[in-house]
Amino acid sequence: MAIYNLGSINADYFYRVPHLPAPGETLLANSHNVGLGGKGANQSVAAALAGREVHHIGAVGSDSGWILQRLKGSGVLCDHISISDDATGHAVIYVDDEGENSIVLFPGANRTLKKEIVEKSVVGSGETDLLLLQNETSLTAYCAEIAAAKGVKVIYSAAPFDPDALNSVQPFLDVLLLNEIEAEQYHAAFGKAVQDSGVPHVVITKGSSGIEYWNDGNVTEVAAIPAKPVDTTGAGDCFAGYFAAGIDEGMDFVTAIQLGAAAASIKVGRSGTSDAFPKRAEVDALLKAHR
């Protein structure tokens, strides 16, 4: 059993600000740091920290040695990451005193993936494996179709929300992950609730309000674990990676959702993205304390 993740890899540039900037406003940042990010890389790191075998599929620029080292240091296997002539993707992230964020994303090398890389990366996958996908790379639907034909379970985060991308990948999905804003965007784009999408399993995260799990028209509400937010950046990716790890481990959906919720609860109390993700022992301890 293994997790394959076709996902973005970014350098994250963090600026702590007193409030999110308004149009035309110039702000002095209180602090600045650089970290590993990208929805794909974040999810791979989370799943690896949860103890699973994770193969990342992606692309970076030639200036990315430190990024690959951080991925490998978290336990992510990087044999399917190619080096592009384009610059590594990056994000500029503003975080205010309430932990809310605003992000500007440059995709860079994430949009330069080649079909042969995707094909080679999933050659060894099979029915016991998972594929994670998001919307920050090229060839998402192509990879989903190949994996689904091999019996691989496909888990897709509909973020950043793009109705055309979602429409192209939806026939191959086993699990659709969205936050409550993306669920509203789905309804606006397709004229129906996301739980009526036809995807077998739909998971909607709602921050401190918890998580909705939809299956066959039935909903299960899973409570969030209370946390004092310091920085919410990457919390959804932390949830997704730990959730996928739980499914890969053989957990039922509700238990895997609880695992992801506990990991995200720890993460929002820390600054940063994947560098701030908890290790499995921390997550297990939090779950035990809340039983």
CA gap 19, 97 in Å, rounded? 7
From the list 12, 231, 237, 248, the catalytic residue is: 237
Q: Which is it for strands 130-133 and 3-6: parallel, antiparallel or unpaired?
A: parallel
C-alpha pair distances (Å), 225 with each of 48, 112, 178, 222: 22, 39, 19, 10
Residue 39's nearest CA partner among 111, 104, 133 is: 133
Cβ proximity of 261 and 239 under 8 Å: yes
Residue 50's nearest CA partner among 271, 291, 256 is: 256
12 in catalytic set: no
- Residue carrying structure tokens 């793009």: 162
Catalytic residue ranges: 237
